[in-house]
Amino acid sequence: MSKFPAMLVAVDVQNDFCPGGALPVQTGNDIVPVVNKLIQNFSHTVLTQEWHPAGHLAFASSHPGKHSFGSTELSYGHQVLWPDHCVQGTKGAEFHPDLLVTNCETIIRTGFRRTTDSYSAFFENDKSTPTGLGGYMRERNVKTLYLCGLATDICVLFSALDARKLGFRVYLVDDACGGIDLHGSLDAAYKEMASAGVVVTNSEKVLSGRN
């Protein structure tokens, strides 16, 4: 099969977001074979990797008296507080051991500034600091983006919305994503993406050339 000229971005397929990790998505292991099939069929593939320093301000442990999944205000506004996860150099920050990384042309690391979290593959949570992915795509004349990875209703969602704001065509490969679905967050994410013009598809359609 000829490879697709569009770009595939596999978001945060890391140990801490898979079963047994600090912030697990229950289907995290299940999507890896699907993501691998996609990786082998795209001309351009980018991985994102959360890469937090110890003591990141988005960690509840950095705020005495605060608890995971609570919130606080940081310099850029409201911030959910998370368990320590994807800390630089730890096993939790590593990619899933079965993920095919050899075909990937670059890695975009996010959340590596202690004072700023980053959900999107394109911008940090201050909504103004770019990761460089948008420029990377433009320099390669890539106008269409296929998104997969973890978690559908957080980092994949924010990446999809930012990609649309930057003018890219965006497809969400649904069976290559896994969601948390906390208090209806997954359904809300799909509605928000649909409103932004994100097209939901699946790997069978993508690999057969129907998307």
Q: pLDDT (tens digit, 9 = 90+) per residue, 122-140?
A: 999 999 999 999 999 999 9
Q: Establish if 69 belongs to a structural domain.
A: no
pLDDT digits (tens, 9 = 90+) for 70-102: 999 999 999 999 999 999 999 999 999 999 998
Q: Establish if 141 belongs to a structural domain.
A: yes
Q: Establish if 59 belongs to a structural domain.
A: no
Using CA atoms, how far residue 211 sits from 124, 140, 150, in Å, is 29, 21, 21
Structural domain count of the chain:
1
The domain spanning residue 45 has which CATH number?
Answer: 3.40.50.850
Tell me the average pLDDT of the chain: 95
Q: Establish if 70 belongs to a structural domain.
A: no
Domain that holds residue 27: 4-53+88-207
H runs (alpha helix) in 55-149? 133-139
pLDDT recorded at residue 1: 39
Q: Establish if 72 belongs to a structural domain.
A: no
Q: Establish if 61 belongs to a structural domain.
A: no
Q: Establish if 31 belongs to a structural domain.
A: yes
pLDDT recorded at residue 94: 98
Residues facing 47 on adjacent strands: 10, 107
User: Mean pLDDT, to the nearest integer, of 169-187?
Assistant: 95
User: Mean pLDDT, to the nearest integer, of 145-154?
Assistant: 98
Q: Establish if 42 belongs to a structural domain.
A: yes
pTM value?
Answer: 0.95
If you ran DSSP here, which 8-state letter would residue 72 be given?
E
